[in-house]
Structures are given as C-alpha cells and as structure tokens.
Structure 1
Amino acid sequence: MEVQHTMLRALLLFSALCAMSAITLAAGAAPQYLRHTGDLRELIKAEGGSVSSWGGALEEFPNASLGAGMVTLEAGFMMLPEYSDCHYFLYVIEGSAHVGLMSPVGFPTNARRIEQGDVFAIPRGWASWAVNCGSSRLRAFAAWDTSEGHARGECMHFHLAGSSSTSTAAAEHQKDTGSILRGFSKDLLAKAWDVDVSHVESLLRSQRGSAIVRLPSRSGSSPATSHALDQIVHTWMTTTTTISQLAMGVGMGLVDDDVNGKQGASSAFGMWPLSGGEFVYNLDRSSADVANKGGKVWFLNAHRMPVLRQLRMGAHRASLRPGAVIGPVWSVNAHHIVYVISGKGRVQIAGPDGRNELDAEVRAGQVVAIPRFFAALKVASEGERLEMISVGSSSMPWSSFLSGSTSMLKNMPLEVVTHAFNIDRELEEKFREKRRDVTAILPQSESERQKDV
C-alpha cells in the first residue's frame, strides 16, 4: 500500500511539472516583435568577417519562413564561393566589395562592385562570392526566405571551396563550411575531371581556410602578387560581362516567365536574363518616390528589379527627419522586417481587437518584425533622423494608410465615418482637413516645432 501511495505522489508531481512546463513554453512562445543586436547568433566568425542570424524563422510571421541577420567582410578578405537553399536579399549599410554571381548552368551572370545603399539579390541555388579589396569593412543587413529550404528560417550553405570546419581554429563558429568536394572520393573526382589523383589532392589540400579567407598581401615583397590582385576584379568583370552577352546573343532564351509576359526557352529551369545589373540595385542613389518636409522614401519592387519576382521579396528605404511619422499603416500582402540603420525613434504595432503588440523605443542595429495586416506607426525622435530599411515578403508589396492624403478614413464617405465612430460632422471634418497635402511621411507639425523651441 505504501508503495502505491509513493507511486501516486510521484505521478501527481510529474503531472504538475509537465503542466508548469507547458505554461512556461506557452509564455515563452509569445511573439517578440523587437530584436536587439545582442540577440544575434554567430553562424560564422572569422578574422576576416562574420555571418550572424537573429535565429531561425521569425515566429511573428505565421506560415512564413523569413529570417534576418548581418554579414560583415573585412578589408583584404574573400568570402569563398558557395550556394544555398534560400533566397538572399542584402542591403549594404557601410563599406564596399566586389561580388560575383553564377547561374546554375555555369554562366557568370554578374560581377559588380556593391557599396553603401546598394541591394544585392542572390537567388536560391546560385553560386556567389565576394572580395573586399578596399580599406574598410563591408557590413550588410540580410533577409532570406527559406520556404523551400531544408530547415525553416535557417539557410543551408554549400561551399565550393575551403577546408573542413573541424580542421580550423574557429570550428565552433564555422560548422559545415568545408567544400562539398570533400564529400567525394579523390579517385572518382579524378575520373570526373580527367586528371591525376595527385592533382585532386593538391586542389583540396591547398586551401587551409574555410568560408572567409585572407587575400594575398598587397604590401608583400613580390610586386607581381600585388599587381595580380589589382587585376583580378578587372579581368573577372570583363570576362563575365563578355560571357553574359555571348550567352544572350546565341539565343539561350534565359527569360523569366513573368517579365515579358511569355515563357522563354529555358524558363522551365528557372533561369533569368544574364544582365550585369539584374541583381544589384542602387537604392539610396535612385530618385526618392516620396520627398517632403518629413523626409524621403524609396520603393523597390519587381518592376524596378525583376529578379525580386523570383525571390518573392520587395523593400522600401525610409529616411525620417526629426519628429516625422509614418503610419498608421498596414501591409495587405507582405510581412515586413524593419532594420534600423541609424538614429532613434519609437515603433508601435496594433493587432486584432485593438491589442497593442509593441510599443518600444528603437535605435540603430535593432530589428522590428511586423506581420501582414498588423498596423504599425513609426516616429523619429525629436533630436535626430531615423534611417530604416524594410524588407517584405512580396515582390509587389501594397500598403494601406490611415493618415495623409491617401488615408482610407480620409477618402471614405463622410457619412460612413461619422456613423462608424459615432461622431458629428464637425469633428470628422477636423480630421479630414488635416494632412491633405502629404503622402506616406507626415512631417512634424508646426505646433510641435514651436514646443521644441
């Protein structure tokens, strides 16, 4: 009998612990719309740069597989060629580098210098690499879509060159960065390439670094080495441009299904036109779509950068002057990941039933996740500009505003608004007559400016 009572008490205790665990998990599953720089998890960390992630798919986005992180590449280093199982969208925050991209059929399609304010799109399965021959670090914000990848929210990278991560000093932060060629036997590789096994051994053994490696020194004793490094990018860009033009000229038919309204000869393979500028867009140096006393907004969609149609991503860049406001606004067809480039401000997010999902001060280096249909309000601080880049899960994102000249409430029939809010016409017209001449960005009002003075 005593044994039975002991077992019963143990069972009750176990049930209580399980219930407490379930409550804890449920509480922990609450959406975290704001993420900090300290929340970044390093996937690759090396002397020459790093790749980090805010961790898996952002759970604020139901039925979506969006992730975000940061990429850095120090001067004098190279990111070795690789491909991944996800689409990549990069926005350069600072610095510059020369990047290369190669289509799955082996044609170099793009060799460009990217710099601050540029967008670089990398389709899933396309090989890419980067070389920083400058004097300063490249730093970029990255967003990715893993809807057709192996793991939700996390990209799987397949490196074409590099030693095994287990043989590097930074193995803890460089998992799975060894070349895929190491997964084959040397004799079969020799057979495939029609070379001696010793040549294969030399190919795989010569590169001792992985993922991110140092370039030959410009200040070395050999002028030939320095000269060769200076000529790498020039030769590379000239060659890839020539090959791209040749490929198009001989009727490869690498045409996207949707761009011209009809199917190209190779569209079944998911190819794109081999255009040098197809995958890089100078966002910050383009003409602003909205410009007023409150700041500027640049929109980037598939019309301006057709490859975004394949990535199923779009973006907008906002520069708000002190005290300026964007919103309330919600997206009809896209989740949004907002990265704060510089400055300070405040962001609020409203959900169903008037729930306040987020009310937070934001600053440089932070990320805000805004689910589709959730309304958001962004305000720059009174003392400095607020610079942001927002990446959405649609190549043609659409938004609905509740303020400014395009406000739904402003353009809704007056009788509908007065009855819906149970207010008189006089009060409704006070709202209707304000902000008639501004769109998207609402400048700080005259009364607010006078208060600041």
Structure 2
Amino acid sequence: MKLVDTMTFFLFFLLTLCVTSAVSVEAGGAPTSSQYLRHAGDLRELIKAEGGSVRSWGGALEEFPNASLGAGMVTLEAGFMMLPEYSDCHFLLYVIEGSAFVGLMSPVGIPTNARRIEQGDVFAIPRGWVSWAVNCGSSRLRVFAAWDTSEGHHRGECTHFHLAGASSTATAAAEHQKDTGSILRGFSKDLLAKAWDVDVSHVERLLRSQHGSAIVRLPSRSGTSRATCQDVVNQVADTWTKTSTISQLAMGLGDDVNGEQGPSSAFGLLPLPGGEHVYRLDRSSADVANKGGKLWLLNVHRMPALRQLGMGAYRLVLRPGAVVGPAWSVNAHHIVYIIRGKGHVQIAGPDGRNELDAEVRAGQVVAIPRFFAALKVASEEEPLEIISVTSSSMPLSSFLSGTTSLLKNMPLDVVTHAFNIDSELEEHFREKRREVTAILPQSHSSESQDLSTSFLSGSRSLL
C-alpha cells in the first residue's frame, strides 16, 4: 500500500511540473537562452588534427535575419603550419593568446601581408585571398573567428579550397569533418604537367610528397627550432619585397598575345591590395576610458581593408559591476565572444519581449541582432572582457544612458508625456550619468569624464 501511495505521489508531482512549465511558456515566460547564447560545448569540429583545430558554432547564426554570419575558434600548436588555402567567406579573426607568422596573398598573387600576429591583434582575410600560418613560438595560438557566408557555395557554410595537402576524405567522413585535400588533386597529372611545362613525374612527386592535410607538423629542417622557422619567415618576407614579377603585377603589366611584355588587358580591373590587413587593437589607445573600464573601436577609418569585408570589431573591458547599455545597433548585427570573466547579458526585442536573460562567462558567444537592444553588466566579483565582431565596417549605435542617451537629449515635454511622468522625475534621470559615455561605472558618485573624446566624434559609431 505504501508503495502504491509513493508511486501515485510521484506521478502527481511529474504532472504538476509539466502543467506548471506549460503555463509558464504560455504566459510569456523567459525564453531559453540557446537561440542567442552558445556555449563552448556547442562547438562542432570542422578540422581536428595533432597540430590544431577549426571549430564552429554552426554555419550561420540563425537569429540574424537576412544575414549570413558565423563564428568559431581556431587553434594552431607550436611547430605546426596551416597549409595555404582560400575560402568563399570573409573572415575577421582576433588573437586571444599566442602568436604566429601569417601570410596573405591577393587574388592576383601579390603578397599583402607577411608578418607576425600576436595576442590582441585583429586579422582580416577577404574571400578568395590565399592565407597560411606558421607557429614558430613555444605556445598554442588561439583565435576567435567570425565570418560572412553571404556568397558561400553552400548556404550558411564556408567552403575552403586548399592548395596543398593529402586527401582526407575517409577520415573526414568518419569524424563528420570537412575534407581538406588539395584542389590540385582534381586535375589530371598530364594536363597539370602541360600547364606547368614539367614532366608528369614532377607533378606526381609534388602531389604525393605531402602526407598531411590542413594542419601539418613542420619538418626539423624548417620548424622544430625557432631559428630555422624564422629563416623560412624571413625568406617569405624577402620574396615579398624583391620579386620583380610581383612589382610588374602591381603596375598592371602582363604578357600580350605574342608573348611580349606589355600593358595587361585586365589593368584597372584586377583587385589590388586594400591596405593593411592586421591591426594591433589591444595595443592602440582606448577610445573610451573611465572608472567603468575601457573600449577599443575598430572600423573602416582605422583599417580600410574592412570596407571589402563589410565587418568591424570592438574590444570591451568592464570593471566589476560596470554596465554598457541599453543600446541597439542601427545597421549591424553583433557576435560577442566572452574572453575572460563573467557577467550578465539581457536582450530586449519588439513589444518589450525579453529575448535573453543569461549569466555569461569565458568561452561563450552571444548573438545580438540588429535593432535589438542589449545590456551588458560585469559581475560584482571580477571584470568582464569581450571581443565583438559586427556585420558593418562602420556600425552606428543608439544609447539610452550616458552622455549620448537619446532620452537625455530628447525634449523634456516629449519625455514627460511619452512616459506620463512629471518633470521632476524626468529631471532626476536626466541629471544622472552626464559625464560618461558608453561605459557606466558601478559607483553612483560623480564619475570621471572619459579620457578620450574620439568616441564623441567619428569613432562613436561602433558599439
């Protein structure tokens, strides 16, 4: 009898729990965070090798309407190389830790960048441009990456075209990863030999010598010691500056139909380098700095190459208890990665809906759609550090707090009538936070004025 009573109570408890949950959802309870918040455990392996990995939070973040944005993480171990490749996506990368030598070539074969990137740097890779990386250091390179798939071969996904590497079809299929074999394997050896004017045996040797794919260990003659690895780096940089063919391409010269040197028929149509593709974000001066923290902005004015990508970025460090927002972006979606610390993020949608109310910590990513207002708050115990990539190279945001608050600068009568409050209460809100921009310190005492005024001029358009 006691067993029957126990089972009856247990079933009644489960039924009550289900009914309560249903009522909560029907009544407009807070939505689950999975739509806008992704965890480190949600990352999907695209490439996994001894020397590193490429992981993704999905081909495109579904909460961005009419946009094709994705995000993920890239790692490269010391003594390894990411083989040359190009993609049908724009990429914007932020170095979280470590360093590496990176190379970038424009579609007409002009080396645009051949340099070392390290923690705090932003690296832009336009679609169709060939890139590679070599880790000559002693520690792992770890990078947050965001990409634009709007012109991808497959909807919502980036397709990578590797110039070198053995085929990994069997391994990739077994582990649900992407094949990373060289595109040269898609041609017959005899026609490649004709194109290069070499023997077929030379082509066979070229294609079979590399047994690795995507990420390979550097051989001892060029990678296991820092000095020899650096020699390879120096050779590439030297080739970049001295090769006469590259100089001729830059001037628009080519071969005419008779094999004589002359003006290229494509002169003026070929894409030439669009400026520096690496920006030392963390080592630049902060655009906003006050008791609440610091903000670094990166837009097309500071990195012209971003115009081609149609992307931008900002770096934010909030001291304990500091706040950013409420604010919304007029022309850009935001992908926010939590680098360190913990905090709280809320997103408000149309009709006053709460779209997200979540505690966030290192390793998570938050998607904030254009026009959706957001609040970011650092925890009371530790700072909150984030990097955010935006879908515009010159984003524009609107704030409801701080010096640039729309409510603060709106006519008094408009605010009092809109909220149906008296002028005394409205003035109470208007007088607060008069001297701080974007970042609101925890203290309710008089905050120090921002140390930089650039945010109030042209740079203020990015947050």
Shorter-chain TM band = 0.7 to 0.9
Q: Distance in 1 between matches of 2:156 and 2:92?
A: 14
The match for 2:230 is 230
Change (3 A) 1:266 1:403: farther
> Is 1:108 aligned to 2:111, yes or no?
yes
Could you tell which deviates more after superposition, 201-210 or 105-114? 105-114
Change (3 A) 1:304 1:182: same
Mapped contact 1:165–1:171 kept (Cα < 8 A):
no
Change (3 A) 1:106 1:218: closer
Q: Aligned letter for 2:403?
A: S
Q: Distance in 2 between matches of 1:267 and 1:322?
A: 53
The match for 1:165 is 168
Change (3 A) 1:245 1:112: farther
Change (3 A) 1:252 1:322: farther
- 1:295-334 to 2 correspondence within 5 Å? 295-334=293-332
Mapped contact 1:165–1:174 kept (Cα < 8 A):
no
Q: Distance in 2 between matches of 1:363 and 1:229?
A: 36
Note the alpha carbon deviations across 1:126-155, whole angstroms, 9 max, x for none.
Answer: 000000010000000000001111123211
Instruction: Choose which of 350, 373, 376 in structure 2 pairs with 1:375.
Output: 373
Change (3 A) 1:90 1:266: farther
Give the gaps of 5 or more residues in structure 1. Answer: 1-27, 254-264
- 1:148-187 to 2 correspondence within 5 Å? 148-166=151-169, 172=175, 174-187=177-190
Mapped contact 1:85–1:155 kept (Cα < 8 A):
yes
The match for 2:455 is none
Q: Distance in 2 between matches of 1:368 and 1:196?
A: 54
Q: Distance in 1 between matches of 2:284 and 2:244?
A: 25
Give the gaps of 5 or more residues in structure 2. Answer: 1-30, 254-265, 448-463
Instruction: Choose which of 191, 196, 207 in structure 2 pairs with 1:204.
Output: 207
Note the alpha carbon deviations across 1:411-440, whole angstroms, 9 max, x for none.
Answer: 000000000000000000000000000000
Change (3 A) 1:249 1:290: farther
The match for 2:433 is 435
Q: Distance in 1 between matches of 2:211 and 2:337?
A: 35
Mapped contact 1:132–1:138 kept (Cα < 8 A):
yes
> Is 1:41 aligned to 2:44, yes or no?
yes
Misfit runs of 4+, over 6 Å: 28-31
Q: How far 1:57 sits from its partner (Å)?
A: 1.0
The match for 1:336 is 334
Q: Aligned letter for 2:193?
A: A
Question: Given the two structures, how large is their TM-score scaled by the length of structure 2?
Answer: 0.83
Q: Distance in 2 between matches of 1:267 and 1:324?
A: 51
Q: How far 1:270 sits from its partner (Å)?
A: 3.6
The match for 2:192 is 189
Q: How far 1:227 sits from its partner (Å)?
A: 5.4
SS in 2 for 1:269: coil
Change (3 A) 1:234 1:377: same
Question: Given the two structures, how large is their TM-score scaled by the length of structure 1?
Answer: 0.85
Q: Aligned letter for 1:109?
A: T
Change (3 A) 1:356 1:250: closer
Note the alpha carbon deviations across 1:21-74, whole angstroms, 9 max, x for none.
Answer: xxxxxxx99971000000000000000000010012111100000000000000
Instruction: Choose which of 131, 135, 144 in structure 2 pairs with 1:132.
Output: 135
The match for 2:363 is 365
Q: Aligned letter for 2:77?
A: E
The match for 1:400 is 398
The match for 1:413 is 411
Q: How far 1:166 sits from its partner (Å)?
A: 2.9
Could you tell which deviates more after superposition, 82-91 or 440-449? 440-449
Q: Distance in 2 between matches of 1:391 and 1:347?
A: 16
Q: How far 1:106 sits from its partner (Å)?
A: 1.1
Q: How far 1:317 sits from its partner (Å)?
A: 0.5
Mapped contact 1:31–1:59 kept (Cα < 8 A):
no
Note the alpha carbon deviations across 1:377-403, whole angstroms, 9 max, x for none.
Answer: 000000111000111000000100000
The match for 1:272 is 273
Note the alpha carbon deviations across 1:275-326, whole angstroms, 9 max, x for none.
Answer: 5xx1000000001000000000011000100110110001110000000000
SS in 1 for 2:35: coil
Sequence identity percentage? 80
Q: How far 1:235 sits from its partner (Å)?
A: 1.6
Q: Aligned letter for 2:208?
A: R
Q: Distance in 1 between matches of 2:191 and 2:122?
A: 40
Change (3 A) 1:29 1:59: farther
Q: Distance in 2 between matches of 1:245 and 1:136?
A: 36
Q: How far 1:239 sits from its partner (Å)?
A: 2.2
The match for 1:347 is 345
Q: Distance in 2 between matches of 1:363 and 1:241?
A: 44
The match for 2:12 is none
The match for 1:258 is none
